[in-house]
Chain A
């Protein structure tokens, strides 16, 4: 396995700060907007976005975590069943501008499942997508992000790993991992 660092922790901090300012341009003080992090890995991005926005705006933006397991289209096409994570949304999505947040946009299937899952919590006024990494030319569905940290060219055999200190990593880093024949 080969690991190549594509975004280090300083760059990741700058990236998150830029994304937050882009969000503020469109959502102002977030009085009508909410953030939904997609479980499991989008949750950490959403928490980082929320804490950075709190520093800039001086207020906590409503942030929830959305699990899409039961709405995915690859159930029974896998070796083992998908394990669900907790959904935690303690606010109404009805009529709100929702920003879905995930770490990596790859095929677009997770985001499709998220749109499906989100409808159970009401009809949002609008939905946007924020991702740290957009893997180019890999989409299975016509889904694109509104806010992108960085676009990456990658092979199908590769994967992108976003590491957070919150998850016991040494530093916040983003890696491109290539599986090699042992």
Chain B
């Protein structure tokens, strides 16, 4: 019998390659469950999970909620925009009030990096980080790596380039950690202004020419330009960004191999990815969304055992 080495999923940095493999193997079984006529199992019927979102989310929140319901957990949803946070309540008070209602697990998204780590030092409930600012988004990285594994059989030895707004992306950081732990080669590509100064310290290749990056890789994980996190201008215009870093079908067809296109969503069609590239056979974007539910089911299932 295997179990996770952690009781909270705060980031990929904190977990071992064995943990990731265990999550993948468990997700394989849940993916099978999701393809049955009845897509529900009673595993977490005695667990209550609170989805605490201090930031907007569509995909991640829906995916977590569906995963929780597929596992038969009781689910409550909290959104800061319509809560007492607006009245000045602190994060810890808000969460403790939720926990007083006998909640066992917290799935939290917050704009501040380290918010779930802070919370983990003060509460006993299991915490799943659903994204903390520009820091980490562990379940997204797990589902991305799981999708690569599904496509190629394994992640080890694969060349993966992460293209776009690396500076503001929690997906990029979690992906770097996850892919490296699984033995993949990682490159980041984007305008110099959107590449963190010391990114090479993480052991990744750095490229500013998107064509060279695409020629190198097996998989391109294309990120969205996060205008909502940008406090200043990092490039002259979206049009210029698209001109230099946008990926279209013509560019993909010009390569001497068929690479895989991934995107964590939401896509800015016509900016980082053209519609013909996003909707091409090379894109596994919707597979990522499907795998997200299985991965999150696996994470919740394995963490619930650590109560």
Q: Which of A71, A81, A117, A122 has the most CB of B within 10 A?
A: A81
Known: A81-B3, A83-B1, A87-B32. A120 touches B38 (CB 8 A): yes
Known contacts A70-B33, A80-B305: A75-B38 contact under CB 8 Å:
no
CB-CB under 8 A from B37, the residues of chain A are: 120-122
Decide if A143 is an interface residue (CB 8 Å cutoff). no
- Of chain A, the residue at the smallest CB distance from B37 is A120
Asked whether, in the complex, the Cβ of A80 is within 8 Å of the Cβ of B41, the reply is no
Cα-based distance from A74 to B297 in the complex (angstroms): 18
Q: In the complex, which residues of chain A have a beta carbon less than 8 angstroms from the beta carbon of B29? A: 67, 69-70, 84-87
Q: Which residues of A contact B47 (CB under 8 A)?
A: 76
- Which of chain A's residues 115-163 have a Cβ closer than 8 Å to chain B? 116-117, 119-122
From B25, B43, B46, B302, contact of A70 by CB (8 A): B43
Whether the pair A76, B307 counts as a contact (CB closer than 8 A) is yes
Q: Which residues of B contact A71 (CB under 8 A)?
A: 41-43
- The interface residues of chain A lying within 8 Å CB-to-CB of B43 are 70-71, 75
- Cα-based distance from A43 to B285 in the complex (angstroms): 36
Rounded to whole angstroms, the CA-CA distance of A82 and B44 in the bound complex is 13
Contact A70 B41 (CB under 8 A): yes
Question: Do A80 and B32 touch (CB < 8 A)?
Answer: no
**Residues of A97-121 contacting chain B, CB below 8 A:** 116-117, 119-121
Docked complex: B33-67 residues within 8 A CB-CB of A: 33, 36-38, 40-44, 46-47
In the complex, what distance in Å separates the CA atom of A79 from the CA atom of B38? 29
Q: Is the CB of A80 within 8 A of B2?
A: yes
Contact A121 B304 (CB under 8 A): no
Please tell me which one of the listed residues A69, A81, A85 contacts residue B302 in the complex, with CB atoms under 8 A apart.
Answer: A81
CB distance from B120 to the nearest CB of A (A): 20
Q: Which residues of B contact A70 (CB under 8 A)?
A: 29-30, 33, 41-43, 71, 301
The answer, yes or no, to whether B282 is at the interface (CB within 8 Å) is no
Q: Decide if A76 touches B1 in the complex (CB within 8 Å).
A: no
Q: In the bound complex, how far is the Cα of B25 from the Cα of A69, in angstroms?
A: 13
A121 touches B41 (CB 8 A): no
User: In the bound complex, what is the Cα–Cα distance between A79 and B2 (angstroms)?
Assistant: 10
Q: Is the pair A116, B42 in contact by a Cβ cutoff of 8 Å?
A: yes
For residue A73, give the distance in angstroms from its CB to the closest CB of chain B.
8
A82–B1 Cα distance when bound, in Å, is: 7
Closest chain-B Cβ to A70's Cβ sits at a distance in Å of 4
- Is B26 close to A, CB under 8 A? yes
- What CA separation (Å) do A121 and B39 show in the bound complex? 10
A117 to B33, CA, bound (A): 10
Output the nearest chain B residue to A119 by Cβ-Cβ distance. B38
Q: Which residues of A contact B307 (CB under 8 A)?
A: 76
A116 to chain B, nearest CB (A): 7
CB distance A121 to B36 under 8 Å?
yes
Give the residue name and chain of the A residue nearest to B307 (CB): A76
Q: Given A71-B42, A76-B304, A119-B38, are A81 and B32 neighbors across the interface (CB < 8 Å)?
A: no
In the assembly, what is the distance between CA of A85 and CA of B29, in Å?
A: 7
Give the CA-CA distance A157 to B40 in the complex, in Å: 35
Point out the residues of chain B lying under 8 angstroms from A81, CB to CB: 1-3, 301-302, 304-305
A84 touches B305 (CB 8 A): no
| Nearest Cβ on chain B to A181's Cβ, whole angstroms | 24
Nearest 6 A-B pairs (CB), nearest first?
A81-B305, A70-B41, A120-B38, A80-B1, A84-B29, A80-B3
**B residues whose Cβ falls under 8 Å from a Cβ of A:** 1-3, 25-26, 28-30, 32-33, 36-38, 40-44, 46-47, 71, 301-302, 304-305, 307
